Chains A and B, each alone.
Chain A
Amino acid sequence: MTTKFIATLSSSGFSFNLYSDLVNMWQYDFMRHAFEAGTIVAVVAGVVGYFVVMRRLSFAAHALSHIGFAGAAGAVLVGLNPLSGLLLFTSGGGLTMAVLGRKASSRDVQIGTVLAFMLGLGVLFINLYKGYATEAYSLLFGEILGISSSDVIATLVAGLVIIFAIVVIFRRLLFTSLDEEVAEAKGISMMGMSIIFMLLLAVATSIAVQVVGVLLIFALMVTPAAIAQRIARRPSQGLTISICIALLATWFGLFISYYIPYPVSFFITTTVFVAYLLVRLFQSDLVHRPR
């Protein structure tokens, strides 16, 4: 298996010299754009995801991507850029979730009901669309290798807005995420913070869909942050770990998929999953080791 794997790599031009391999693949625009967009998305997903996990909103993040799917499919149907439909629907969905469901624990049923409906709506739009089925495929599973330079710029702008907003509200967001009651008693508006965060999450989800698609959003938005949460003793440490894992998985996925003709999102999801398993295994070993 391993021999066959290496043989496949070698026949595709893999040289074991990282520098020359990267220079080689970056001469293609689609690979450069993929690395650029992938890097921005990984950083944003790592940061936003850390708060998603802390606020126990991973199901909401998953649902937002499904809502975005309906928006993107609708945009494609009427001849607009899918990203605009994604942004519109995820923002609307995020705002509704923030206003309706105050307690994360009580949101599951409402969110699940809406996400199923939205996925159905997306399927209808895709069916009505007379174009190629690849549109639906790339929305569902991501199509990072098809990103244009204007997509990269849109992703960069959205990414910078999100990071800037998080830097501004960082301490309040952390307080309301870790200690809701005390934060509220100290005068921080829970509703206000929830609305701001859900909107940021909506935009982050929209740009992350380009890389991993709506069905695999967990890979970048939740799993790296979940690993960080299990390790980090300080929030700054958690953010760093979350960003690093998302980045490494994205880079590794892109790198390996250049040589092996399987979907990038498969390699990304597999990398973060393996990392998660390793952390769980390592921690259970530590816990059960006699002291």
Chain B
Amino acid sequence: MNSNPVISAQDLVAGYKDKVIWRDANFTINRGEFIGLLGANGAGKTTMFRLLLGLSRPVSGRLEVFGKSASRGNPRIGYVPQRPYIDSESKIEAVEYVRLAVSGTKLGFSFGRSDDERQRAYEALVSVGAANLAHRSLSELSGGELQRIFFAQALVSKPDLLLLDEPLANLDIRRETELIRLISHVVKEQNIAVLLIAHDINPLLPVVDRIIYIANGKVASGKPSEIVTSKKLSELYDSPIEVLKGSRGQLAVLGVEEALHHDD
């Protein structure tokens, strides 16, 4: 069993030449861990993904993925970006989208209906319980069904690390819970590390091992019970934040909007 961390960040600073987005990120992520990446809009959550994918470079600090500096085109990473736009004109079936993640980086031509790549795409769809959606076009699918297809696409290349950017956006509570359970199940079964960006901690509470919270240019990581507290969040935001706990353990974070406006 490989005990090296999947991701290791030391004093990591993200941003552009003249603007720092966040600084001092220090964390490690191991195989089989489910990590929630939280923060307000514009806090720099997707920036973290761009760094991990090698699409942006850190301003300073170290970021290693599988023991090497993060670089583009890492085949061990499965990625689900935010997709605000689905082409309603296109009738290309879901299995072809899934297949792209294994065939799309190759040169040459592939036309087969029953080739190995297509078979792998089917298997990925089966693993997320979406075999029945294989021949539907993306424009015909609901938000929850689409997320399953995208999840299957991220899994098809058999990754060791999954980066999921807001997969829960626009889903109702039932679909949210279903998708989170599915991700958690697959991640444990295949011993993959997953980093999932979300706005709300509550759907993640039953499944996450740790969270990384980005706020006000600072990054904190730890167990939800350590990070999502009035004291810790008030420190991060430099403003009074209140965390209330509901009867079923759900958390409500109050005062973030005010803290962000206060910054402006």
Contact = CB atoms under 8 A, between A and B. Distances in A.
B111 A236 contact: yes
Interface in B238-261: none
A168 B108 CA distance: 4
B90 A171 contact: no
A187 interface: yes
A232 B91 CA distance: 6
Contacts of A232: 91-92
Interface in B34-92: 53, 55, 72-75, 77, 79-81, 83, 89-92
Chain B facing A: main interface SS: loop
A236 B103 CA distance: 14
Nearest to B49: A185
Contacts of B74: 187
Given A170-B108, A170-B110, A185-B77, A231 B91 contact: yes
A229 B87 CA distance: 10
Contacts of B83: 181
Contacts of B201: none
B174 interface: no
A178 B97 contact: yes
Contacts of B135: 233
B109 A184 contact: no
B91 A187 contact: no
B130 interface: no
Per DSSP, are chain A's interface residues mostly helix, strand or loop, or mixed?
helix
Interface in A29-67: 54
Given A174-B100, A175-B100, A187-B73, A230 B91 contact: yes
Nearest to B112: A236
B110 A171 contact: yes
Contacts of A185: 53, 55, 72-73, 77, 79, 81
A189 to B, nearest CB: 9
Interface string A192-209: 000000000000000000
15 contacts: A168-B107, A170-B109, A171-B103, A174-B100, A181-B79, A182-B79, A186-B73, A186-B104, A188-B104, A230-B91, A231-B91, A232-B91, A234-B92, A234-B96, A235-B96
Given A172-B105, A187-B105, 13 more contacts: A167-B108, A167-B109, A170-B108, A175-B100, A175-B104, A178-B90, A182-B81, A183-B105, A186-B75, A188-B105, A229-B89, A233-B135, A235-B96
Interface of B: 53, 55, 72-75, 77, 79-81, 83, 89-93, 96-97, 100-101, 103-111, 113, 135, 137, 153
